[in-house]
Amino acid sequence: SIYLMMICGLLLFFGRLGDSIGKIKVFRVGMVLFLIGSLFAGFNNSLALLLAARIVQATGASMTMANNNGIVTEIFPMNERGRALGLIGSFVSIGAIAGPGIGGLILGQLPWGYIFWINIPIGIVALILGTIVLPKDLPSRRVPIDWAGFVTFLVLILSLFMGIFLGQERGFTDPLILGLFALAIVAFAAFVHIENHKTDPLVSFKIFQNSAFTLSLLSAFFIFVTNFFFNVISPFYLQNARGLSPEKAGYLLMIFPIVQVIVAPVAGSIADRIGPYRITMVGLLIIVASQIGYAFFNLQTSFMFVALMIGLVGFGNGLFQAPNNTVVMSSVPTRDLGIAGGMNALARNLGMVVGISTATTVLFSSMSHTAGKKVTTYLAGQPDIFISGMHVSFWVATGLCILAVILTGYRMWQVRHETAV
């Protein structure tokens, strides 16, 4: 949790820093910090050392996440940008495929510290390739660092995430949780006030007047929330309700990222030729269809149909993500590419946190209603109660996808209207 909280809290700061001093410089320093954090996280000395190392890791990861899309957007011309962003999406999916398998292999054969140390040779190779391939740096415009905005945003993220994570354990009406959410609201109000009175703010809220940027960002957020509904629910369904072994369930779940790996760069290339708007809509409609399919899963559903729906959502995400990223990154001026990339990464990570929390809350609340008692886990021997809660959860996920469709449809209408005028 500390790793994810620090990443989200630092994304906007490092995005703006990349705009100010150079995205490639920030990206490279981030890679070095991630390697240092990985090195020390693997030493079995103390919990304090592990937490400190994870914070260093998160700092480095945040520096790279905030600037990678901005680097690609500046280096590649518009007619190649979609394919390049699609390739980034493919490598993210490859990580999702390889990570759990490699992690399981390491834990089975080596001490747990190698979970972190495996990053070191990979990171060194990436650093060498970056030195060879990337230019020295990209044009930047030095501005003063908005420390007040950074601190208030960090407080906002930390208090919000702690409230979400602890709220799942203690209940969202617990006084501590309510206090954390109240602190998040105060920090948000302070952040908005500070940014509106800064000459060079961390985030210029004028960027949100750009409807293509804002609507694309919101659509991405809703889709990431939706994706993590399935990530939360699928292990219960496949292993507990259907009795699959973790290995077989893992094979089924790998269909999603495998399909996305194949589709994303192709979708990016198509978007380069015909524009990103129509293909993002097609991707969203396919994701909606997959969520509806999930909502009809039961104890008798054929695994062929399950595999088809998992593949369908991978196909839809492959069509949606790269073109949508192209819209986000191409809709802002060059001076704001770092902050745009930071916000894009923040939408992804925030979607993950909100998705996990919302899916858990909806699933167990629905199961509790059906069971007539408080439920906080899968009830052995009562799969029907879980199936009922799963159906409610996936209909909620479908609703979130439909919101993304509406936002994207409105964005398409605006583009056509502006073109006609």
CB 95 within 8 A of CB 118: no
**Cα(318)–Cα(256) distance, rounded to whole angstroms?**
9
Residue 250: the pLDDT is: 82
Could you tell me which residues come within 8 angstroms of residue 396 by beta carbon, excluding any fewer than 6 positions away?
229, 358, 362
Percent of the chain residues topping a pLDDT of 70 = 95
CB 420 within 8 A of CB 320: no
Is 107 a residue whose pLDDT tops 90? Answer: no
Is 104 a residue whose pLDDT tops 70? Answer: no
User: pTM value?
Assistant: 0.88
**Cα(390)–Cα(363) distance, rounded to whole angstroms?**
6
Residue 420: the pLDDT is: 58
Residue 139: the pLDDT is: 64
Mean pLDDT for the stretch of residues 246-272: 87
Q: Where does 174-250 show beta strands of DSSP type E? A: none
Residue 44: the pLDDT is: 72
Tally of CA atoms within 13 A in the half-sphere of 302 that contains its CB: 3
Nearest to 147 by CA among 188, 201, 205: 201
Give the pLDDT band of residue 105 (cuts 50, 70, 90): low
Mean pLDDT for the stretch of residues 67-78: 84
Per-residue pLDDT reduced to its tens digit, 288-340: 999 999 999 999 999 999 999 999 999 999 999 889 988 888 888 878 888 88
CB 341 within 8 A of CB 69: yes
What angle in degrees, to the nearest 10, is found between the helix axes of 255-274 and 303-330? Answer: 40
Is 185 a residue whose pLDDT tops 70? Answer: yes
Mean pLDDT for the stretch of residues 48-64: 93
Per-residue pLDDT reduced to its tens digit, 366-388: 999 999 888 888 888 889 999 99
Q: Which of 110-114, 115-119, 216-220 has the highest mean pLDDT?
A: 216-220
Residue 138: the pLDDT is: 66
Residue 194: the pLDDT is: 94
How far is the CA of 148 from the CAs of 8, 71, 76, 411, in angstroms? 17, 27, 34, 34
**Cα(153)–Cα(201) distance, rounded to whole angstroms?**
12
**Domain residue extents for the chain:** 2-146, 147-197, 207-420
Nearest to 403 by CA among 278, 294, 322, 288: 288
**Cα(252)–Cα(307) distance, rounded to whole angstroms?**
6
CB 332 within 8 A of CB 213: yes
State which amino acid sits at residue 245: S
Per-residue pLDDT reduced to its tens digit, 8-51: 999 999 998 988 888 889 999 999 999 999 999 988 778 889 99
Nearest to 301 by CA among 370, 256, 310: 310
Considering the chain, what is the average pLDDT of its residues? 88
C-alpha 31, offset from chain centre: 19
CB 166 within 8 A of CB 177: yes
CATH superfamily of 2-146: MFS general substrate transporter like domains (1.20.1250.20)
CB 351 within 8 A of CB 4: no
Residue 14: the pLDDT is: 94
Alpha helices (H) along 22-143:
23-41, 47-75, 78-109, 114-117, 119-133
Per-residue pLDDT reduced to its tens digit, 135-172: 776 666 777 888 999 999 999 999 999 998 888 888 88
Count Cβ atoms within 10 A of the Cβ of residue 295 and give its class: 0-12 exposed, 13-18 middle, 19 or more buried.
middle
**Taking CA 209 as the corner, what is the angle to CA 192 and CA 80, rounded to the nearest 5 degrees?**
120
**Cα(32)–Cα(34) distance, rounded to whole angstroms?**
5
- Give the dihedral sign, CA 253/255/258/262: negative
**Cα(338)–Cα(16) distance, rounded to whole angstroms?**
6
Mean pLDDT for the stretch of residues 167-190: 92
Mean pLDDT for the stretch of residues 181-204: 92
What angle in degrees, to the nearest 10, is found between the helix axes of 276-295 and 255-274? Answer: 150
State which amino acid sits at residue 338: G
Mean pLDDT for the stretch of residues 242-262: 86
CATH of domain 207-420: 1.20.1250.20
Residue 93: the pLDDT is: 63
